[in-house]
Structure 1
Amino acid sequence: MPVLVVNVDHVATLRQARMGIEPEPVTAAYMAEMAGATGIIVHLREDRRHIQDRDVELIKQTCNTRLHLEMAATKEMQSIALNIEPEMVCMVPEKRQELTTEGGLNCIGREDELRDFLAPIHAKGIRSSLFIDADPKQIQAAQATGAEYIEIHTGHYADAKEIDARNDELEKILKGVALATDIGLKVNLGHGLNYRNILNFKDVPGITEYSIGHSIMARAIFIGLDQAVRDMANLVRTFAD
């Protein structure tokens, strides 16, 4: 049964806009958990533009659901993951000038490097995922790293303006899910998913979780975080019916 994992980065973005103490992403994580989220995602970026180290530590200490830590493949982040011990780490690419993650991690030719990077993380019992595009070569390379999961980047699908382009991107994702499950990977989806475009995945087998942040926080401005999370969690639950 697929589950909902809520990203609270944008709560921290709002806080950091004034370098203050509110709104509190730790409180947002707790509220999302109480409203039906099965896990919480935070992206601790190297430039610390939103989520801070203390946020990760406090969410790990206070929430009862899974903590997923998105991070770059650096020694600093590896050390943080080994210290915090989240349920899962998700390796993502980072560029300083990007507003948000723009595409998947390149795994091709980096299989040994990523396998070595993940080895001490796996040794601590922490699961791993690679955030990649729905490219068959990337999926096969991801498997070679020893990661248990991949998270397929759905941003190109979500951002497509024309119906034909959107359908083309959707087909790539569906083929990617099928290939990944066939070769033994577990599949998560994330980036740009909202209350409408997620419906195209309702009858798709093999999806483990949906990683959603922006659309939930955008709705929360108008109806509150509790209801926004409940609406998405209830929607995801219908996918198992």
Structure 2
Amino acid sequence: MLRLGVNIDHVATVRNARGSPWPDPMRAALLAEEAGADGITAHLREDRRHIGDADIERLMAGLRLPLNLEMAATAEMQAIALRHRPHAVCIVPEKREERTTEGGLDVAGDRARLADFIAPLRQAGCRVSLFIGHDPRQIEAAAAIGAAVVELHTGAFCDLDTEGRTADRDAELAGLAQGARMAAELGLEVHAGHGLTYDNVAPIAALPQVVELNIGHFLIGEAIFTGLGPAIARMRACMDAARQT
């Protein structure tokens, strides 16, 4: 079955807007678990704009689900991951001025450094994932340096769908499909995420090589209106329906 990882970053965004303890990301993680999520994702950014160090401590101590720790390839973040040893570590590009992750890692252009960076994480037992686009060079490089997983960036596909640029959207989907096939053939586990909603998730969920979707911002937004449990249940239904057709 296609797995759903729920990203709780933006529960922390709302909390941090007031500097209070509420809403609690840990509570959101436990609700997601009750609602049928298969994992929890949290991005510990260098500037701590949403998830904080204490959140990671609590998630590691209180979760029964696997934790996927998203982070930049910096010495500080490596040390944090090695201290906590989460189930998975997803390496993402990060710029201080961006609102959200804008693209995939340039693994091909930074192969030696990233190989050295992920080696201790692999040795510590973390499943290392690289957040990349569907460029074949990036997929080949991810396999070459020993990543277990690639997470394909679906943001461009989702943006094109929202803008109604059908031909460009279909071309991007074809690229994602080709990338997923290539990654699987190279022995990589394939995940996908970024910008997914009820309306655009089906074509991505239908890709047979994709085994996990990571979705956060949209689900947290929907939870304002429906509650987190029903939002997750509806997303799961959309994913399952796409996989069965």
Q: TM-score range by the shorter chain?
A: over 0.9
**Which amino acid is the alignment partner of residue 180 of structure 2?**
V
Residues 1:215 and 2:218 aligned together? yes
Unmatched tracts of structure 2, length 5 or more: none
Does structure 2 conserve the Cα–Cα contact (< 8 Å) formed by 1:2 and 1:239?
A: no
Q: What do the CA deviations read for 1:16-72 (whole angstroms, capped 9, x no partner)?
A: 111111110110011001100000000000000000001011011111011000000
Residues 30-179 of structure 1: pairs in structure 2 closer than 5 A? 30-160=30-160, 161=163, 162-179=165-182
* Cα distance in 2, alignment partners of residues 234 and 38 from structure 1: 14
SS of 2:89's equivalent in the other structure is strand
Residues 1:233 and 2:231 aligned together? no
Alpha-carbon offset, residue 112 of structure 1 = 2.0
Does structure 2 conserve the Cα–Cα contact (< 8 Å) formed by 1:3 and 1:237?
A: no
Residues 174-185 of structure 1: pairs in structure 2 closer than 5 A? 174-185=177-188
Determine which structure has the larger helix proportion and give its number: 2
Counting aligned pairs with the same residue, the percent is 48
Q: What do the CA deviations read for 1:162-187 (whole angstroms, capped 9, x no partner)?
A: 11121111111111101111111110
* Cα distance in 2, alignment partners of residues 72 and 201 from structure 1: 25
* Cα distance in 2, alignment partners of residues 240 and 60 from structure 1: 31
Task: Indicate the larger mover: 213-222 or 44-53.
Answer: 213-222
**Which amino acid is the alignment partner of residue 187 of structure 1?**
V
Alpha-carbon offset, residue 239 of structure 1 = 4.6
**Which amino acid is the alignment partner of residue 86 of structure 1?**
P
Corresponding position of 2:24 = 24
Unmatched tracts of structure 1, length 5 or more: none
The alignment of Structure 1 onto Structure 2 pairs a total of residues equal to 241
SS of 1:110's equivalent in the other structure is helix
Alpha-carbon offset, residue 236 of structure 1 = 2.5
* Cα distance in 2, alignment partners of residues 201 and 193 from structure 1: 9
Q: 1:196 aligns with which of 196, 199, 222?
A: 199
What's the TM-score once normalised by structure 1's chain length?
Answer: 0.97
